[in-house]
Amino acid sequence: MKQTVISLFIKRTISPLFNKVLLFCAAAFLIGGLAVPVQAGGIKVAAVFETPIEEPWVNQIHVALLQAKKEMGIEYTWSESVKSADFARIMREYAENGYQLITGDSFGAERIARRVARDYPQVSFVFGSGIGPAEPNFGVFDNWIHEPAYLSGMIAGKMTKTNILGVVAAMPIPEVNRLSNAFCSGAKEVNKKVRCKFSFIGSFFDPPKAKEAALAQIEAGADVLYAERFGVIEACKEKGVLAISNMSDQASLGPDTVITGPVWDMWPTIKHVVTLVKAGVPTAQDFGGFSYMGKGGSYLAPYHNWDSKLPASVKAMVEKRKAEMLDGTFRADIDESAPKSD
What are the pLDDT digits (tens) for 171-198? 999 999 999 999 999 999 999 999 999 9
pLDDT score, position 42: 83
pTM, 2 dp: 0.86
Least confident of 41-55, 152-166, 288-302: 41-55
Helices (H) and strands (E) in the chain, counts: 11, 12
Query: 200 near 171, Cβ under 8 Å?
Result: yes
User: What is the pLDDT averaged over residues 14-22?
Assistant: 40
Over the chain, what is the mean pLDDT?
Answer: 90
Q: Is the pLDDT of residue 21 over 60?
A: no
pLDDT score, position 41: 61
pLDDT score, position 40: 53
Q: Which segments of the chain belong to CATH 3.40.50.2300?
A: 44-144+266-295, 146-246+311-327
Query: 297 near 141, Cβ under 8 Å?
Result: no
Q: Is the pLDDT of residue 32 over 80?
A: no
User: What is the pLDDT averaged over residues 251-260?
Assistant: 98
**CATH architecture, domain 146-246+311-327:** 3-Layer(aba) Sandwich (3.40)
Which residue type does 137 have?
N
Query: 124 near 151, Cβ under 8 Å?
Result: no
Strand order across the beta sheet in which 258-260 lies: 195-200, 164-169, 224-227, 242-244, 258-260
Label residue 130 by pLDDT band (50, 70, 90): confident
pLDDT score, position 20: 38
- Distance CA(182)–CA(196), nearest Å, equals 11
- The dotted CATH code for 44-144+266-295 is 3.40.50.2300
Q: Is the pLDDT of residue 36 over 60?
A: no
- Distance CA(331)–CA(321), nearest Å, equals 10
Q: Is the pLDDT of residue 209 over 60?
A: yes
Q: Is the pLDDT of residue 29 over 60?
A: no
